[in-house]
Amino acid sequence: MAMAYLAWRLARRSCPSSLQVTSFPVVQLHMNRTAMRASQKDFENSMNQVKLLKKDPGNEVKLKLYALYKQATEGPCNMPKPGVFDLINKAKWDAWNALGSLPKEAARQNYVDLVSSLSPSLESSSQVEPGTDRKSTGFETLVVTSEDGITKIMFNRPKKKNAINTEMYHEIMRALKAASKDDSIITVLTGNGDYYSSGNDLTNFTDIPPGGVEEKAKNNAVLLREFVGCFIDFPKPLIAVVNGPAVGISVTLLGLFDAVYASDRATEMLIFGKKLTAGEACAQGLVTEVFPDSTFQKEVWTRLKAFAKLPPNALRISKEVIRKREREKLHAVNAEECNVLQGRWLSDECTNAVVNFLSRKSKL
C-alpha cells in the first residue's frame, strides 16, 4: 500500500507539465482573427491540428509555436520584458522577441510549416482512430501490433515452436526499444501457434565463426547479456501472455515481467528437466494467474485492455519505484550468469545435449 501511495504521489507531481501541454491550445483561442488573410484557412487548420496533439512536442517547439502565433497575429513583440524570476513569461517573451520584424504572413507560413513537420506524431496520435490496429513491418520473426494502448510483440516462428534464433533475439530487442518509446501504455509478449516458445534455438550453436567454438560462446554470452538487459531496463509494464508451453530462456525471463498470465496448457521445463504445469509455476510465484485454455485469450485480453486505460505516468513511475531498488543487482546477476553460461556452452554436457537434439531427425 505504501508503495502504491508513493507511486500515486509521484504521479500526481508530474501533473504540472501535462497541464502546460494541454493549456497550450487555449492560448490560440485568444487569437486576433482579423489579422489573418491569405493563409487564414491553413493557419486555422494548423492551430486545430496542434490542439489534437496528444504527445507533448517539447518546450522548445511549444515556444516556437507560441512566438510564431503571436508574431502572426500581433506582429513584432511590443510587450515589456518580464522580470528574470518570471521564468515562463520571460521564455515566451524571448522567443517572440527573437523573431524581430518578421512579417505576419511569413510568421503564419512558418507556423503552418512547423505544425506540418510535427505530422508524424499527429499521425500516430490523432489521425489513427482508437482501436485501429497498427502493424509494424520490418520483422522476420515477430508480429508487432499496437492497438488500444497495448503493443503486442508476438513470437512468430510457430513451425519451430517459436524457438529464439539469433535474428529473433535482435528483433525482440528492437521491438522492445520501439515499444518503450511508442504511445502504448503496456507491452505484451506472446507466441503464435501452440507454443509460447521452446527457448533458445539450438541451431544457434552450430554456426561456428572463424574464431571457433570459444568465439561462438563469447558472442552468445554478449548477445544474451544485452538481451536480458533490455528486459531489466524496460520502463513500461511488461506482461507475458503464455499461450502454450515455454522452455529454457522463455521461462527464466518470466521473472522479469510485471505480470504473467498462463493458459492451463502451458507447461514449463526448468532445472532437472522437470515439467511444471502452469498451476505449479503459479504456486511458485513465477506465474501471476492461470486461466482455462478455452477462455484464456478472451479473459486475458479483456483484462489487459482495462490495464491499458490506467494512467500511463503512474504505471511507469510505479514500475520505476519498484525496479530501481533491484536494477543494479539484476544486471550484476545477469553478467555473472552469462559468464558462467559461456563456460558451460563449451562443456561436453552441452555439446552432447545439442547434438542429441539436432540428430533426432538427422539434422546433423
Beta carbon nearer to ligand LG6FSS7D, 3 or 340 = 340
Which spans in the chain are helix H?
Answer: 2-13, 15-29, 40-52, 59-74, 87-97, 104-117, 119-122, 166-181, 212-233, 249-252, 278-283, 296-307, 312-324, 327-344, 348-359
Pairwise CA distance, residues 256 & 228, whole Å: 9
Contact pick of 14, 109, 145, 203 for ligand LG6FSS7D (by CB under 6 A): 203
Beta carbon nearer to ligand LG6FSS7D, 332 or 364 = 364
Is residue 172 part of the contact set for ligand LG6FSS7D (CB under 6 A)? no
Is residue 301 part of the contact set for ligand LG6FSS7D (CB under 6 A)? no
Is residue 202 part of the contact set for ligand LG6FSS7D (CB under 6 A)? yes
Q: How many chain residues bind ligand LG6FSS7D (CB under 6 A)?
A: 18
SS3 277: strand
Task: Please give the angle made by the CA atoms of 126, 132 and 133, to the nearest 5 degrees.
Answer: 125
Give the x-and-dash track for 145-164 against ligand LG6FSS7D (CB under 6 A).
Answer: ---------------xx-x-
CB of 162 to ligand LG6FSS7D, least distance (A): 8
Pairwise CA distance, residues 111 & 107, whole Å: 6
Nearest residue to 121 via CA among 62, 48, 53, 51: 53
Residues between 65 and 124 that touch ligand LG6FSS7D (CB under 6 A)? none
Q: Within 13 Å of residue 8, how many CA atoms lie on the same side as its CB?
A: 6
Beta carbon nearer to ligand LG6FSS7D, 107 or 278 = 278
Pairwise CA distance, residues 230 & 225, whole Å: 9
Interacting stretch for ligand LG6FSS7D, rule CB under 6 A, among 49-57, 89-97, 246-254, 328-336? 246-254
Amino acid identity at 1:
M
Residues between 208 and 237 that touch ligand LG6FSS7D (CB under 6 A)? 220, 223-224
Pairwise CA distance, residues 315 & 8, whole Å: 9
Contact pick of 248, 264, 293, 314 for ligand LG6FSS7D (by CB under 6 A): 248
For 16, 214, 217, 223, 341, the CA distances from 211, given in Å and listed in that order, are 56, 7, 10, 17, 18
Interacting stretch for ligand LG6FSS7D, rule CB under 6 A, among 115-123, 200-208, 286-294, 324-332? 200-208
SS3 304: helix
Is residue 361 part of the contact set for ligand LG6FSS7D (CB under 6 A)? yes
Pairwise CA distance, residues 55 & 146, whole Å: 16
CB of 163 to ligand LG6FSS7D, least distance (A): 3
Is residue 57 part of the contact set for ligand LG6FSS7D (CB under 6 A)? no
CB 217 within 8 A of CB 229: no
Is residue 193 part of the contact set for ligand LG6FSS7D (CB under 6 A)? no
Is residue 192 part of the contact set for ligand LG6FSS7D (CB under 6 A)? no
Is residue 141 part of the contact set for ligand LG6FSS7D (CB under 6 A)? no
Pairwise CA distance, residues 205 & 215, whole Å: 11
CB of 294 to ligand LG6FSS7D, least distance (A): 21
Number of residues that make up the chain: 364
Instruction: Report DSSP state, residue 129.
Output: P
CB of 338 to ligand LG6FSS7D, least distance (A): 9
Is residue 319 part of the contact set for ligand LG6FSS7D (CB under 6 A)? no
End-to-end CA distance of the chain: 56
Is residue 191 part of the contact set for ligand LG6FSS7D (CB under 6 A)? no
**Footprint of ligand LG6FSS7D (CB under 6 A):** 160-161, 163, 198-204, 220, 223-224, 247-249, 357, 361
